[in-house]
Structure 1
Amino acid sequence: MERLGHMFINLQQVRQVPWLLRESLPSVPSTLRASEVPPLFRVPSILSGYRPPGQPWRYYALSVFLRHNETVNVWTHLLGALCVLFWALRLGQTVDFVGDVHAWPLLLLVCTAFGYLALSTLAHLLSARSPLLFHVFYFLDYLGIALYQYGSAAAHLHYAAQPGWRGPGGPGGAFLGVAALLAWLSCLAGCCSKLGARGEPSWGQKLCHVVPCGLAYAWDSGPVFHRVYTCLPVCADDPAGRFHAVQLGCFLASAVFFSCGVPERWLPGRCDFLPQGHQLFHLLMVLCTCGQIHGSHLDYLQRRALYTQTQSAALLPGLLLSLFALLALTCILTCVLMTRTASRLLGHKHKES
């Protein structure tokens, strides 16, 4: 009888397991159609798969494992961030990031690359909770992109640039200052375009976002364009040059998908989960970043005789870090001011409704 009693107790405990799981896990509401969410959350030509706003934080955090129209956007940059983090740990075993100041541009590139991928992941994962958080997370996303732009410019100038870029007559002297200014303008333009978003963006909003980013990219990648152009006849003898060429090709292709919104524009409602232009943009940007980091690492190893002669080890840390700190501070202040503006605008809109 005692044994039967223990078996009955164990059976009762087993029966309680599903109830305990249901109580410990959040409820999972079904996704919504575009017409059922505020215009701010709608993506052109994506007609379903929207997560309902106003749910608990854990719903959006665990939605990384659910099927919705942001799932692939989250995973592409999440896996990209993990790849960059793994790469950084591997580089840390062979590169003296502390004692060798000439390794600092490479470290800055890796850190800012991880930062922009991580912030993009959070924006796509958590921004659907409320209109204000939608703005906040995408403002942070643009901050991460601006810092990455500066990190790219620093690595390109230090490692990839040909000798003509480094001399007194070349643009290298003011290169980082202009790169920091363009990065801040890129952050400001992105925040302004998102601040005015009310559903499908107008051409004016697209131009406000794309043009500053395009100018920043053209300036930051100037040394790489020049490097690839000059090495085209002998790229077989320049392994890093091949990776820089891959970097440029992936970025230019990603810009097409980011700007045009294809293939969903051609197939409205049929790309709500996969494939979307923004997903292809994410994937190409991850490939671009990986090619960029690997090419810069090869240049760090193979071109040391060049960059140690033209880049002062005494002046490099101060210039590199002071401009980065100034850029980070101005971008943070920009995001704070834009968040206050968004809160005020959303408050006025709520009162009017």
Structure 2
Amino acid sequence: MPRVSFAPPSLCVTFLLLLARLLPSLPPTVRDVDVPPLFRERFILSGYRPVGLSWRSYVLSLFQIHNETLNVWSHLLAAVCVVTRFLAFTGPEGQGFSVDVSSLPLVLYVVSAITYLSCSAAAHLLQSHSEEAHYSLFFLDYVGVAVYQYGCALALCLYSSDAAWTQRFWQIFLPAAALLAWFSCAASCYAKLRFRRPYPLHRKLCQVVPMGVAYLLDISPIAHRLSTCSWTGNPALPLHFLQVVLFLLSAFFFSCPIPERFSPGSFDLFGHAHQLFHVLLSFCTLAQQEALFQDFLWRRPALVREFGEERLLLACASFPCLTLCCTMTALAMRRRARAQLLKEQT
């Protein structure tokens, strides 16, 4: 009777050995007391990656379980979903999409969404490399958030507003939205650099208040439509309502360390507040994108006639200007962070 061998095929063994060489084992995660205070989060006691490893180690930690894993993957997957859905919407079987002045704001919105999701994923994946990298990457994250704020404002103003709102607020809305987006970036960078642990309450206020005011302005076209228009036969409005609910829930978890406050150490790897914030914000972005696709099909035919081609181009030109201003602000804060770190080391 022939023997039955349960040994894996030699090819499989060779592949596993090769994979082990290409992806060496990473150092195990450590507790909060083993990393500098800058890298610690309240009520998160374990799951930290050691500071000072090679950049390659942090890139490979994408496939390791630690307390940033879900933060990274939630926004990476959301970025992939944004790109995939946009390609489906604009593809041969889509809506006959073509890049022109009336569709350019939608393209800029998608670019802004990919920017903030990618910057956030990069910051959470790589920030443990060093204190300088931590500051630099989160300054980049704040730039991405500001760019997304203005991308939302631009698209919501042009595609999702009704005639009554447009006549009253069009001329002041975009300049105010750009100013608030830049201010929220600058305030977040300042709060990150200025305050040390244990963080005082006004650090969180420096971050939340400017972003909250910017959101209230950016969402005003939607709030007006939700309160004045019939939802019957309008597929975009339920999606807009859903994205507002998801954003408010994400803002709650961003502001409050729940549930880890009530059980420190129990939600270190999965389920702490910042992870819930990331997941909810990802779904919020996907719902918002879908709603904007519906609004784009509704408003595009009359967009140039209503706003004028020159005004639309000027509105879109403000997008790279804002991006440049926020980037320069982040670079200036990075120089201050580097000087501060050098001063502390001497």
Normalising by structure 1, report the TM-score. Answer: 0.90
Post-superposition CA distance 1:246-269 (Å, at most 9, x none): 111110111101001111111111
2:267 pairs with one of 267, 271, 295: 271
Alpha-carbon RMSD across the aligned residues, in angstroms, is: 2.1
Larger radius of gyration: 1
Deviation at 1:178, TM superposition (A): 0.8
Partner of 2:6 in structure 1? none
**2:269 aligned counterpart, secondary structure:** coil
Q: Which amino acid aligns with 1:46?
A: I
Paired residue type of 1:165: W
Report the residue type matching 2:170 in the other structure.
G
- SS in structure 1 of the partner of residue 327 of structure 2: helix
State the distance in 1 between where 2:77 and 2:271 align: 17
Q: Give the Cα–Cα distance (whole angstroms) in 2 for the partners of residues 15 and 327 of structure 1.
A: 53
- The equivalent residue for 1:191 is 189
| Alignment partners' CA distance in 1, 2:309 and 2:16 | 63
Query: Aligned pair in 2 of structure 1 residues 229, 345: CA closer, same or farther (>3 Å)?
Result: same
Contact 1:97 1:107 in 2 (8 A): no
1:225 is matched with 223
Q: Which amino acid aligns with 1:349?
A: E
Deviations 1:84-118 (A, max 9, x none): 11112112213566543111111111110011001
**1:15-46 CA deviation, whole Å, 9 max, x = no partner?**
99877655543341111110110000000100
Q: Which residue of 1 aligns with 2:342?
A: 347
- The CA distance in 1 between the partners of 2:106 and 2:302, in whole Å, is 16
Q: Which runs of 5+ in 2 are unaligned?
A: 1-9
Task: Please say if 1:324 is aligned against 2:319.
Answer: yes
Other-structure match for 1:55? 53
Residue 103 of structure 2: SS of its match in structure 1? helix
SS at 1:235 equivalent = coil
SS of the residue 1:29 aligns to: coil
Q: Is the aligned partner of 1:156 residue 2:192?
A: no
8 Å CA contact 1:244–1:295 kept in 2: the answer is yes
Q: 1:350 to 1:228 in 2, by over 3 A?
A: same
- How far the C-alpha of 1:313 sits from its partner, in A, is 2.2
Give the letter aligned to residue 115 of structure 2: G
Q: Which amino acid aligns with 2:108?
A: L
TM-superposition CA deviations, 1:31-67 (whole Å, max 9, x none): 1110110000000100000000111111111111111
- 2:330 counterpart of 1:335: yes
- 222-231 vs 206-215, which deviates more? 222-231
Distance in 2 of aligned mates of 1:238 and 1:23: 55
Distance 2:220 2:60 in 1: 41
Q: 1:295 to 1:18 in 2, by over 3 A?
A: closer
Instruction: Give 1:203 deviation, angstroms.
Output: 0.5
Counterpart selection for 2:179 from 178, 181, 185: 181
User: 1:137 — aligned with what?
Assistant: 137
* Residue 320 of structure 1, CA deviation: 1.9
Residue matched to 1:8:
none
Taking the aligned partners of 1:79 and 1:314, their CA distance within structure 2 comes to 36
What is the distance in 2 between the residues matched to 1:266 and 1:151? 37
CA distance in 1, matches of 2:13, 2:231: 67
Q: Which residue among 291, 312, 317 is the counterpart of 2:308?
A: 312
Residue 7 of structure 1 is matched in structure 2 by none
- Asked if structure 1 preserves the Cα contact closer than 8 Å seen for 2:222 and 2:240, the reply is yes
* Among 236, 242, 250, the residue aligned to 1:240: 236
Instruction: Work out the percentage of aligned pairs sharing the same amino acid.
Output: 43
Q: Distance in 2 between matches of 1:242 and 1:309?
A: 27
Q: How far 1:140 moved relative to its partner? A: 0.5
Q: Does 1:104 align with 2:100?
A: no
Give me the whole-angstrom Cα distance separating, in 2, the residues matched to 1:315 and 1:31: 53
Tell me the TM-score normalised to structure 2 length.
0.92
Letter in 1 for 2:155: A
* Alpha-carbon distance in 2 for matches of 1:348, 1:40: 16
Aligned pairs for 1:65-76 (under 5 A) are 65-76=63-74
Number of corresponding residues = 336
Separation (CA, whole Å) in 2 of partners of 1:159 and 1:15? 56
User: Is the Cα–Cα contact under 8 Å of residues 90 and 98 in structure 2 kept in the other structure?
Assistant: no
How far off its partner does 1:131 sit?
A: 0.4
Separation of aligned partners in 1, 2:87 and 2:152: 19
Partner Cα distance (1:251, 1:125) in 2: 23
Q: Separation in 1 of the partners of 2:15 and 2:101?
A: 57
2:246 matched to which residue of 1? 250
One-letter code of the match for 1:51? Answer: R
- Cα distance in 2 for partners of 1:147, 1:22 equals 40
Question: Displacement, 1:325?
Answer: 2.0
Give the distance between the partners of 2:155 and 2:319, measured in 1 at CA: 13
Q: Which residue of 1 aligns with 2:284?
A: 288
- 1:96/1:103 contact within 8 Å kept: no
Deviation at 1:132, TM superposition (A): 0.4
